[in-house]
Chains A and B, each alone.
Chain A
Amino acid sequence: MSVDAVTVRRIAHLARIAVRDDEVSHLQGELNAMLAFVEQLSEVNVEGVEPMTSVTPMEMKKRQDVVNDGEIADDIVANAPATEGHFFLVPKVVE
């Protein structure tokens, strides 16, 4: 499989990465090189093989359903580019 220019733009939008017109053909070439490389997986017989979900055989750990953290709003907004009080500021989302 390979991707065309329209698909490159669609993927970029899905990935929320702006691409300039002059970047598209270069990106298309690189993505297609990667897709050509992974193409060899199609020759592997995976009939009846379970997909890996956990590389270490272990049961998912659970913890008590209790509050064990919090009251750190100052820490959480400490690195934000724009805040007001304990809120993150973003451009208007709802008209």
Chain B
Amino acid sequence: MTDLTSLTLAEARKGLAAKTFTSLELTDAHLSAMEAARVLNAFVLETPDQARAMAREADGKIAKGDAGPLAGIPLGIKDLFATKGVRTTACSKILGNFVPTYESTITSQLWRDGAVMLGKLNNDEFAMGSSNETSCFGPVGNPWRREGSNTTLVPGGSSGGSASAVAALLCMGATATDTGGSIRQPAAFTATVGIKPTYGRCSRWGIVAFASSLDQAGPIARSVRDAAILMRSMAGHDPKDTTSVDIPVPDYEAAIGKSVKGMKIGIPKEYRLDGMPAEIEKLWEEGAAWLKAAGAELVEVSLPHTKYALPAYYIVAPAEASSNLARYDGVRYGLREQGKSIIEQYENTRAEGFGAEVRRRVMIGTYVLSAGYYDAYYLRAQKVRTLIKKDFEDCFAKGVNAILTPATPSAAFGIGEKGGADPVEMYLNDIFTVTVNMAGLPGIGVPAGKDAQGLPLGLQLIGRPFDEETLFSLGEVVEQAAGRFTPARWW
């Protein structure tokens, strides 16, 4: 039998339906791969017993012809998603040994459709980071290395565990979340496919909150088709999330292979940064050429407020985070550090429980919302956000179907290489992705090539609100042209 971990989700689904193998076999193959890859630190909690029980249940349903769309498919779950009875920490010390008594809407939909949980995946603490180095469980290793080097690189972040586990073939797909690029940037660093859906497409209920107006969950997968399959199960209206949108969930998979002929693809001139590596520029041109060859029309577009998206983000996101993270007070759950008074208890708990990056963001958020600074910072940033969104609206009003950009300004870097002295150095990783969160749009990251050192690079396609289908159609064109990439196993 071929190695079951090397299949795509779509192929595994076929094999399960044809009874070529069982979900238990498929699950066991992934559990073994997971155990053998502990050096990557992608999983922060392995749940093999639960996985096998879920796999047996799925096998029973498949046998009875009662299988859901994800029946028997083993997945990894970012540790930001509350899983009932299974420790959920957001990779922060402050949540300690938190065991939810409830299940997030998204994961409950995945289990409804028959998926199997292998375990919980590492991420940057509270999803704050672009390298997975801020996790209280330590950094995650990228399965990709520079050619001829054995230096461990970061998988990107914040969904670094998700991207690493999917790329290393430890799980068939993973849940992830994206507040400023946390799905698309790690996808680009690991040659996986990641989509951040339109804001409101997937329920945020039961996901540990970072910045509520920007957070959106989506899948990281081995192929564009796999991402489409996962999206259909993850998306949908949820009355428990007031920002969740009540519109039907399309069959995203049907968009795969659909012609993109006549589509107008925007190339934003503001994304051509000074000092951008020539390889990224070349990749971008190649991507445009592939779409053109598939019949799309390329047009130069302008998104004039692009350069202000990242600074505006670093006001809005910390402000919302400072408010959301106020709940970690050592009273209702998680870590408690004693103090003489309740205020001192709060202060000691939060100093001990939050890592450096989280403390920094909570403090900057507190500052920009404080009396006397609110108008100058927060209100101004929200106005700039309106302008960023309007840039995209103007572009789509001219008939542009989607926008093509690079996913990241560089390939993966080494652990400890960035952001040591100046936090802004790390933040610049999200320069191409953050605009999409600020405007609430869908964006997909698709692997498109490698740099001179053999590291994967990705392209991003940005779509109209709730038009994820077009992104899947275009993403498929890129995948067909670029091929799929698997790292050489060293772990």
Chain A residues with a Cβ under 8 A of chain B:
1, 3, 7-8, 11-19, 27, 30-31, 33-35, 37-42, 44, 46, 49-56, 58, 60-61, 63, 72, 75-82, 88, 90-91, 93
User: In the bound complex, do residue B98 and residue A79 qualify as a contact, i.e. CB atoms below 8 Å apart?
Assistant: yes
Whether B99 lies near A91 (C-beta < 8 A) is: no
A52 touches B422 (CB 8 A): no
Q: Is B471 an interface residue, CB under 8 A from the partner?
A: no
For the complex with contacts A38-B312, A81-B333, 10 further pairs of A-B residues with Cβ separation under 8 Å are: A8-B363, A11-B370, A30-B360, A31-B367, A40-B311, A44-B380, A55-B438, A58-B245, A78-B99, A79-B332
Given contact pairs A72-B101, A75-B102, A17 touches B362 in the complex (Cβ within 8 A):
yes
Q: B99 to A79, Cβ gap below 8 A?
A: yes
**A78 engages B424 (CB within 8 Å):** no
Name B313's closest neighbour in chain A (CB-CB): A38
CB-defined A-B contacts under 8 Å, sample of 19 = A11-B367, A16-B346, A16-B350, A17-B354, A18-B348, A27-B360, A31-B363, A31-B367, A34-B314, A37-B311, A40-B307, A44-B380, A46-B383, A51-B382, A52-B385, A55-B389, A81-B331, A82-B336, A91-B345
When distances are taken between beta carbons in the complex, the residues of chain A under 8 Å from B99 are 78-79
Chain A residues with CB under 8 A of B117: none
Residues of A within 8 A of B387 (CB): 44, 46, 49
For chain B, which range describes its interface: under 10, 10 to 19, 20 to 34, or 35 or more residues?
35 or more
Interface pair B101/A34, CB less than 8 Å apart? no
| Nearest CB of B to A30, in Å | 6
A16-B350, A17-B350 given; A56·B199 CB < 8 A: yes
How close is B354's CB to chain A, nearest CB, in angstroms? 7
Interface string of B363-396 (1 = CB under 8 A from A): 1111100100100110111111111010000000
Q: In the complex, which of the residues B331, B377, B424 contacts A90, with contact meaning CB atoms closer than 8 Å? A: B331
Least distance between B200 CB and chain A CB atoms (Å) = 5
Q: Which one of B315, B335, B350, B365 contacts A81 once the chains associate, using CB atoms below 8 Å? A: B335
- Which residue on A lies nearest to B343, using beta carbons? A16
CA of A51 to CA of B423 in the docked complex: distance in angstroms?
Answer: 27
With contacts A17-B362, A90-B345 taken as known, whether A34 is within 8 angstroms of B424 at the C-beta atoms is yes
Of the candidates A56, A78, A88, the one having the most CB atoms from chain B within 10 angstroms of its own CB is A56
Q: Which residues of A contact B381 (CB under 8 A)?
A: 38, 41
C-alpha gap A46/B379 in the complex (Å): 10
Q: Smallest CB-CB separation from B354: which chain A residue? A: A17
With contact pairs A17-B362, A91-B340 given, residues A33 and B311 touching in the complex (Cβ less than 8 Å): no
How far is A34 from B347 in the complex, measured between Cα atoms in Å?
Answer: 23
Q: What is the bound-complex CA distance between A52 and B336, given in angstroms?
A: 37
